[in-house]
Chains A and B, each alone.
Chain A
């Protein structure tokens, strides 16, 4: 996910919640910079400083949002990035859709709300989902949206050789993996059945508690058979595209703007407050802030410039939203004679990182110190806390045969070229030197080269980031099973694999969570990871907008928002 790279330079997020006269109160997660006018209700009307005066969107002719890059595609079956998702979530709609917020939810089932489906029946064993599709669910050209459309779309994603970045997400469906790998040619063997025009039955391999959230993910969205068959790959051009979301794609000018307009065939069109949306493509984060300050934007999307951050923290429209993502170091355990192959060494290194001070002094409190690999999320709390413990770290290192860091070979830390990664790496290099007497060298490589080094295990320790795709610990944990394509460390642990496999098959939610907690504990003690901080999303968003609430995957449906005149 390209978002991960950008996210690191991205700053805080969070706007005022959906309150009339929205004051400039930050969420409890927002950092309080010196001199921040926090919760100052007067800030909106009686600005003290020039930059606090209300300008957001005053020069924009319609609701305007910045996008960090051109979407690579509007085809939901193929896409995988953040700008693509931002647009897709407005113009398409899945069986379920993400709700307005992920904050203060104890029940993970509240994360999504019925969308194309009006209801769902789940079987006892948690493996069969029967969706009832709304009678008035339609495509933007007025055609009826049927269960058959979902079957067609999912078959398209799973067709062997189809370039779907997220195709593996559908492997939770029975028979999907074999079909995708070309082992089975028979689509009927896959657990997707259109019982009738408005009833879709999906059979899963395992009880998958997050399946509803998956149906709210763009790879699971319906794609229009009619347009695809008529235009091939060109179906996503504005003149050909047919969508089913609250908005439809009106026009697209590369590197300039994307215009959306209300879809008059949308089932819930009467509740749509904002009728027109303009996405402006602004890759440079300084240019984005300039555009916001001159009133051309209502919402900066993601990624404020690090260089300007101290001045932006006090901006009344500044918001920091928590993110379902972790910034961590991964350790290659597959090299011969590497000291890093010893779990004690890895643990010692991890314990010698003072995450609190790193986040506070080096990173301006823009992120949250990580105590586990799985960030906090509704319905899950990590059992383990990776803490700062110099004494234990020293002991572990001595046990591993390097008392006081003596004879510890030179180890290299790899990161992709970026100012923020450099700051973090330098701070950690110093901590390891000071706390353990361990010397490491830093090496930075350009993004694609870095990716290749990680992919081919040509590194020792490498910076990494992971943004969860759904609110379940599985999205952070299954990648560390043996030979998983995202493992990229050579780490393999039979007990861990068993725990993940067991959790996948477990119907009982409590037992399942226990297994995942144990797996995470094992991962942190034995595994190839050192979590450093949890990402946050830092943005500027007009305090005039109602209905903008923090979302930990940065999924914001404009459908929920309202912009008073």
Chain B
């Protein structure tokens, strides 16, 4: 098992490197750039400060923006011809944005935000605790509501209990948080005054957003649990368990549920990654200090470093949680084993 985890970790590093390379290239393909403002500002200084005048990869393309007097852009000294393309002299490859960025990463930094005075780590670090707490609470909402609901519906297939639970779940999946959030604010904050409408000062303030965020996942989990239950309950080993006279409770909890939860667990891996990195919509509606908004805003601002920071954070979560899911399988399904 340890060897398996180590192998996975090593593979993760490669996966992340590929993601970083592709993302870095993609950010630079987007039109416009971080230094362009409505009012003519000191674009040249900003471009130089962020090394945006450097080639992205050794294939050199001159910067789009005009330099200004007293502020000249980087000019590569030597170019060499490789297969018909002009590329940088290998000696200056350290000057490319890609290598500069990788060097920044190896020094344990994600660089400076190109828009603000904060580093990317400071920016994301300030919001991450809130986002993770919110995500964790939403996850609990999802599991505590979703699994029992799905279980009951599955066991009482085609009864009123099943229909009503699944109707609620259907509604839960269909109502987006952009509708649910404002509704909850209107009723519980503005009308009843039980909660504050915006911000996060005490734990109580996190309840409405956790519920808003978790409800969708709860509904989805309920549907998955029900489906899994229906499939498993007809399996031979359940019949065997019943045949040997086990109590129904034991059959359901110890045998059926474990199998039924497999699809739920594999869904919860990526779902947790999404939850832990925040929701733009919920954070905007409740004005929470999380990191979800950075995913959208950094792209709109062309804040390349912050964009890459959010991508690295999200993909690390995703890769890690998928690994956790695979490990959890060995506990849920005795047939799965990673020991060679």
Contact across chains for B126 and A254 when beta carbons are under 8 A apart: yes
Residues in B neighbouring A75, C-beta threshold 8 A: 117
The residues of A that contact B311 with a CB separation of less than 8 Å are none
Given contacts A73-B116, A287-B286, contact A448 B70 (CB under 8 A): no
Q: Are A287 and B285 in contact (CB under 8 A)?
A: yes
Q: Is B133 an interface residue (CB 8 A)?
A: no
Residues of chain B within 8 A of A452, CB atoms compared: 31-33, 36
| Contact present for B32 and A182 (CB under 8 Å) | no
Q: Which residues of A contact B287 (CB under 8 A)?
A: 282-284, 287, 291
Q: Given A255-B127, A290-B197, A294-B193, do A80 and B289 touch, yes or no (CB 8 Å)?
A: no
Within residues 115 to 160 of chain B, which ones have a CB less than 8 A from any CB in chain A? 115-118, 122-123, 126-127
**Inside 8 A of A130's CB, which chain B residues have their CB?**
none
Contact in complex: B37, A253 (CB < 8 Å):
no
Stretch at the interface among A32-40, A160-168, A508-516: A160-168
Q: Which residues in A have their C-beta under 8 angstroms from that of B49?
A: 163
Alpha-carbon distance A2/B300, docked complex (angstroms): 13
B64 to chain A, nearest CB (A): 8
* Alpha-carbon separation in the docked complex, A105 to B128 (Å): 49
Which chain B residues (22-45) contact chain A, with CB distance < 8 Å? 30-33, 36-42, 44-45
Q: How far is it, in angstroms, between the C-alpha of A446 and the C-alpha of B301 when the chains are bound?
A: 10
Please, which residues of chain B bring their CB within 8 A of the CB of A451?
Answer: 32, 36-38
Contact A290 B198 (CB under 8 A): yes
Q: How far is the CA of A145 from the CA of B166 in the complex (A)?
A: 71
Which of A5, A59, A165 gathers the greatest number of chain B CB atoms within 10 Å? A165
Instruction: Check A163 against B42 for contact (C-beta < 8 Å).
Output: yes
Quick check: is A4 within 8 A (CB to CB) of the other chain?
A: yes
Chain A 178-207 interface residues, beta-carbon cutoff 8 Å to B: 180-183
Residues of A with C-beta under 8 A to B127: 254-255
Kindly list chain B residues whose C-beta atoms are within 8 Å of the C-beta of A287: 197-198, 284-287
Given A233-B117, A253-B126, A283-B284, check contact A290 B42 (CB 8 Å): no
- Judging by beta carbons under 8 Å apart, are A4 and B38 in contact? yes
B37-A161 in contact (CB<8A):
no
Compute how far the CA of A288 lies from the CA of B196 in the bound complex, rounded to whole angstroms: 12
Cα A531 to Cα B244 with chains together (Å): 86
Within 8 Å by CB of B117, from A72, A80, A165, lies: A72
Q: At the interface, yes or no: B1 with Cβ under 8 Å from chain A?
A: no
Asked if A165 and B42 sit within 8 Å, CB to CB, the answer is yes
A119 to B122, CA, bound (A): 43
From the candidates B123, B197, B285, name the one contacting A291 in the complex (CB within 8 A): B197
Separation of A254 and B199 alpha carbons in the complex (Å): 12
Nearest CB of chain A from residue B202's CB, rounded to whole Å: 13
Does chain B have a CB within 8 A of A554?
no
- Distance to closest chain B CB from A343 (angstroms): 25
| A182–B70 touching, CB < 8 Å | yes
Does A256 interact with chain B (Cβ within 8 Å)? Answer: yes
Asked if residues B69 and A284 are in contact (CB atoms below 8 Å), the reply is: no
Are B41 and A165 within 8 A (Cβ)? yes
Interface string of B85-121 (1 = CB under 8 A from A): 0000000000000000000000000000001111000
0/1 string, A43-62, CB within 8 A of B gives 1 = 00000000000000001000
Partner of A163, one of B33, B45, B69, B200: B45
Our pick among B38, B42, B289 for the contact of A254 (Cβ within 8 Å) is B289
Q: Given B45, B69, B182, B185, which contacts A181 in the complex, CB threshold below 8 Å?
A: B69
- Chain B stretch 165-189: residues in CB contact (< 8 A) with chain A: 182, 185, 189
Q: A4 CA to B45 CA in the complex, in Å? A: 22
Q: Is B190 an interface residue (CB 8 A)?
A: yes
Bound-state CA distance A486–B68 (Å) is: 14
User: Min CB distance, B53 to chain A, in Å?
Assistant: 12
B300 touches A254 (CB 8 A): no
B206 close to A (CB within 8 Å): no
Interface positions of A from 421 to 471, Cβ below 8 Å from B: 446-449, 451-452, 455, 465
Contact call B38/A2, Cβ cutoff below 8 A: yes
Chain B residue with the shortest CB-CB distance to A81: B37
Are A284 and B199 in contact (CB-based, < 8 A)? no
Q: Which residues of chain A from 1 to 32 have a CB within 8 Å of any chain B CB?
A: 1-2, 4-5
A70 within 8 A of B: yes
Give the contacting residue for B118; candidates A5, A254, A446; CB below 8 A. A254
In the complex, how many angstroms separate the beta carbon of A446 from the nearest chain B beta carbon? 7
* Highest count of chain A CB atoms <10 Å: which of B38, B42, B117: B38
Determine how close the nearest CB of chain A comes to the CB of B284; give it in whole angstroms: 5
CA A24 to CA B302, docked complex, whole Å: 43
Asked if A155 is an interface residue, CB under 8 A from chain B, the answer is: no
Residues of the A chain whose Cβ atoms lie less than 8 Å from the Cβ of B41: 80, 165-166
The answer to whether the Cβ of A74 comes within 8 Å of any Cβ in the partner chain is yes
Per-position contact with B for A239-263: 1 when CB-CB < 8 Å, else 0? Answer: 0000000000000011110000000
- Chain A residues within an 8 Å CB radius of B182: 286
**Nearest Cβ on chain A to B297's Cβ, whole angstroms:** 9
Is B46 part of the contact surface with A, judged by Cβ < 8 Å?
Answer: yes
Q: Are B37 and A446 in contact (CB under 8 A)?
A: no
Q: A296, B115: Cβ atoms under 8 Å? A: no
Across the interface, do B189 and A254 meet the contact criterion of CB distance under 8 Å?
Answer: no
The interface residues of chain B lying within 8 Å CB-to-CB of A253 are 126, 289
B48 interface residue (CB < 8 Å to A): yes
**Interface 0/1 of A348-366, CB less than 8 Å to B:** 0000000000000000000
Chain B residues whose C-beta falls within 8 Å of the C-beta of A288 in the assembled complex = 198
CA gap between A279 and B8 in the complex, in Å: 46
- Cβ of A245 to closest chain B Cβ, rounded Å: 18
Query: Nearest residue in B to A450 (C-beta to C-beta)?
Result: B32
Q: Which residues of B contact A293 (CB under 8 A)?
A: 190, 197
Can you list the 6 inter-chain pairs with the closest CB atoms, starting with the nearest?
Answer: A182-B70, A485-B40, A255-B289, A290-B197, A448-B32, A165-B41
B positions within 8 Å CB-CB of A = 30-33, 36-42, 44-46, 48-49, 68-71, 115-118, 122-123, 126-127, 182, 185, 189-190, 193, 196-200, 284-287, 289-290, 293, 300-302
Known: A80-B39, A451-B37. 14 other contacts (CB 8 A): A1-B38, A73-B117, A161-B70, A165-B37, A254-B289, A255-B290, A284-B285, A291-B196, A291-B287, A294-B189, A448-B300, A452-B31, A485-B40, A486-B39
Listed A/B pairs (9) with beta-carbon separation below 8 Å:
A59-B196, A163-B42, A163-B49, A181-B69, A280-B199, A281-B289, A283-B284, A291-B198, A448-B31
Residues of A whose CB lies within 8 Å of any CB of B are 1-2, 4-5, 59, 70-75, 80, 160-168, 180-183, 233, 236, 253-256, 280-284, 286-288, 290-291, 293-294, 296, 446-449, 451-452, 455, 465, 485-486
